[in-house]
Chain A
Amino acid sequence: LNSKFEMAKVEADVPPKGGFSFDLCRRNDMLSKKGVKPPSYLKTGTTIVGLIFQDGVILGADTRATEGPIVADKNCEKIHYMAPNIYCCGAGTAADTEAVTDTISSQLKLHRYHTGRESRVVTALTLLKSHLFRYQGHVSAALVLGGVDGTGPHLHTIYPHGSTDTLPFATMGSGSLAAMAVFESKYHEGLSGQKEYLRNHLLPNPRTYVSSKGYSFTKKTEVLLTKITPLKELVDVIEGGDAMEE
């Protein structure tokens, strides 16, 4: 036991080199052997879509973020800002999609300052693809990148291993098969306006299951208070008093 302690001390004295720190791996192994499960990732079971139409690009996404079987966020934002003329939908691990789009978005901004021009979609594409390839698929982000620049409207899909496709219509995420079925049957070039594709984007899904027993408490539950006191009334706010002094 003593020798293990000494070993740990020696490792800590080595200056950090950057990159992934494996220090906690042994402890994680020990915990998992004792039956402690690691926290699950916030993975977005997602449908993200994009299509090129007459005047530009439309991107669409659902808003449910899940942690295993639980809905962690009912209304999360999956369409990420990259540049004023470029947006990116993300499916996969929520942290990875957020981080990678944020990182490339700031790189694009610096590039705009450097060049004095608006960003191009292929620039964002190359930055994203190089980043994801460098991490060999461990950054679990599947993206639909769309935008309009001086060369016209563009739509690309980017896979976690770093490969890209350029398509007139694209879907990603676990719901991609269903969405692709809709696109394959109805897409044609030169789609006008938005009426054919924006469907039910204002209303959330109606609650389809209503419990037959109702939602009131059972009779044995002790009810303490039925009056609801808004918190504001409990606090006296003195306005226009003297500034606090040290």
Chain B
Amino acid sequence: MDPSVGDLNSPHSMGTTIIGVTYNGGVVLGADSRTSTGVYVANRASDKITQLTDNVYVCRSGSAADSQIVSDYVRYFLHQHTIQLGEPATVKVAANLVRLLSYNNKSMLQTGLIIGGWDKYEGGKIYGVPLGGTILEQPFAIGGSGSTYLYGFFDQEWKEGMTKDEAEKLVVKAVSLAIARDGASGGVVRTVIINSDGVTRNFYPGDSLPLWHEELEPQNSLLDILSSSSSEPMVS
């Protein structure tokens, strides 16, 4: 039948751009908000950063159903673990629970996850658990279809020991770059900052994000852009 109807039977997946970044004192998690079934955007304002415990959050990508179910199971196991342990779970335990589910069910699951949080033993930590169930502790992690456009960007822009504001600005800039280039990412940018003080959720609507390159208004002459004094000529 016509392609638009066929899409509605496609599996519900999150094209996505997800990012997790450590800074001096905590972590910043960021994600776009587009969930697509084929080429139809099923949810333009989804929340891909899901809470596992008070101090650990996970960014979800890949199949929407698989990532939701894995987060639900891990939240349940972590809740039991916290009760048995008598203190908040560590980010390492949360990440390893995700890894065990992903690895042991690798033939049935199709989901890439970034776990980030803060605990009193190790401070802010980011763990990446891509397809297949590897676990990698990293100072920053990127995932989802939009992440392919960000490897070069992070190689250049990443610094150790950033402040909280620097880290969040970096995350927002990165997600908006990916949204500009990846058709499967879009909507708004959501960020979650986790540190010893607690958790802060932020929301950047699409129209407040910087524009990039061809998204600018057409100019009479390229010389007008190049001669402007700002260090980032392509930002409107």
Q: Which A residues are within 8 Å of any B CB, using their own CB?
A: 129, 132-133, 136-137, 140, 142, 157, 159-165, 167, 172-174, 176-177
Contact = CB atoms under 8 A, between A and B. Distances in A.
Contacts of A173: 8
A159 B69 contact: no
- Which 7 pairs between the two chains have the least Cβ-Cβ distance? A163-B64, A163-B65, A161-B65, A162-B65, A159-B12, A165-B43, A163-B12
A165 B108 CA distance: 22
Given A129-B68, A159-B65, A177-B40, A165 B8 contact: no
Contacts of A129: 65, 68-69
Nearest to B13: A163
Given A167-B43, A174-B5, A162 B11 contact: no
B40 A162 contact: no
Interface in B22-45: 35, 37, 40, 42-43, 45
B143 to A, nearest CB: 18
Interface size class of chain B, counting residues whose CB lies under 8 Å from the partner chain: 10 to 19
Contacts of A165: 35, 42-43, 46
Nearest to B2: A174
Contacts of B45: 167
Contacts of A160: 9
Given A142-B8, A163-B65, A173-B8, 13 more contacts: A137-B11, A159-B37, A159-B42, A159-B64, A161-B11, A162-B65, A163-B12, A163-B63, A165-B46, A172-B8, A174-B8, A176-B8, A177-B4
B68 A164 contact: yes
A174 B5 CA distance: 6
A167 B43 CA distance: 8
Nearest to B1: A174
Nearest to A126: B72
Contacts of B5: 174
A133 B72 CA distance: 12
A162 B5 CA distance: 20
Contacts of B4: 177
